[in-house]
Copies of this chain bind each other. A is one copy, B any other.
Amino acid sequence: MTKVTAQMSVSLDGFYAGPRFGGEPGDWLESAESAGFFRVTRWVIDAMAWRERQGFAGGEQDTASEIIAETFAAAGAYVMGRRMADGGEIPWGDEPPFRAPVFVVTHRSRDTLVRRGGTSFTYVTDGVASAIEQARSVAGGKNVAIAGGGELLRHVLKAGLLDELELHIVPVVLGTGMRLLDADLDLADKEAIELTPIRVIHTSQATHIRYAVNGRAALLLDDRGSGSGTP
């Protein structure tokens, strides 16, 4: 059955990149935004670099490689934010790594862009729920993966459309930056989003926790602990 999934690398304090860069695109690589982004995704780059170099399996690096391979393999289609799609258009080149249809949530209509290797970019202007439905219809029973960025992922979580969230929790505190789970989730007073961890894989570079998203629930008063230690 098709699930709507998302995964993101985050620092221990919840950032997926440094503070948003407002300068010229050509200067992004030198920005604090990119410094944070490359720190939290270092485990991915290390795994890819290692795989190419060694050509054989084993150990932690291979665990990371397997998580990455599995993530790509599980997705039958992608939903992506406009900023990420624009930013990737040139570096991803003629044969982007998705090898599946990608639905880009945008305000500007544009013809579908077909790339080699099975990747296409379809620009959806009637909202994220529509993009997810279009992705579902071509996913062939595989998952619809929310490819990011963080703002889109948060929007999908907030709208109750996300079935699974995998966080790659990286052992670094960035202190500031773009936070995945920030305050605009529209939770009411004493309301929370409950999840169930369904898989944990750990290496020295990241703790990978996959959660099923149960949805919104009221925080019921549970004060059994308020008197602990009282004789």
Residues of B within 8 A of A209 (CB): 169, 207
Query: A39, A45, A204, A229 — which one has the most chain B CB atoms within 10 A of its CB?
Result: A229
Q: Sort chain A's interface into a size bin.
A: 35 or more
Judged by a CB distance under 8 angstroms, whether A111 is at the interface is: no
Contact present for B211 and A197 (CB under 8 Å): no
Query: A12, A92, A181 — which one has the most chain B CB atoms within 10 A of its CB?
Result: A12
Q: Which among B29, B190, B202 is the interface contact of A18 at CB below 8 angstroms? A: B190
Q: Mark A42-54, 1 if CB is under 8 A from B, else 0.
A: 1011001100000
Those of A149-184 within 8 Å (CB) of chain B: 157, 167, 169, 171-176, 181-183
Instruction: Report the separation of the CA atoms of residues A225 and B41 in the bound assembly, to the nearest whole angstrom.
Output: 9
Those of A181-196 within 8 Å (CB) of chain B: 181-183, 185-187, 189-196
Q: Mark A187-231, 1 if CB is under 8 A from B, else 0.
A: 101111111110010101001010100000001111111111111
Contact present for B181 and A173 (CB under 8 Å): yes
Q: A185: nearest residue on chain B (CB-CB)?
A: B175
A193 to chain B, nearest CB (A): 4
Residues of B within 8 A of A93 (CB): 229-231
Contact A95 B38, CB 8 Å, known A32-B189, A183-B175: no
Contact present for B94 and A231 (CB under 8 Å): yes
Residues of B within 8 A of A231 (CB): 93-95
Q: A230: nearest residue on chain B (CB-CB)?
A: B93
If A14-B181, A32-B190, A197-B202 are given as contacts, then 14 extra A-B residue pairs at C-beta distance below 8 Å, sorted by A number, are: A13-B181, A18-B219, A35-B219, A35-B220, A38-B225, A44-B225, A45-B224, A91-B230, A92-B230, A174-B192, A175-B181, A175-B186, A175-B192, A200-B200
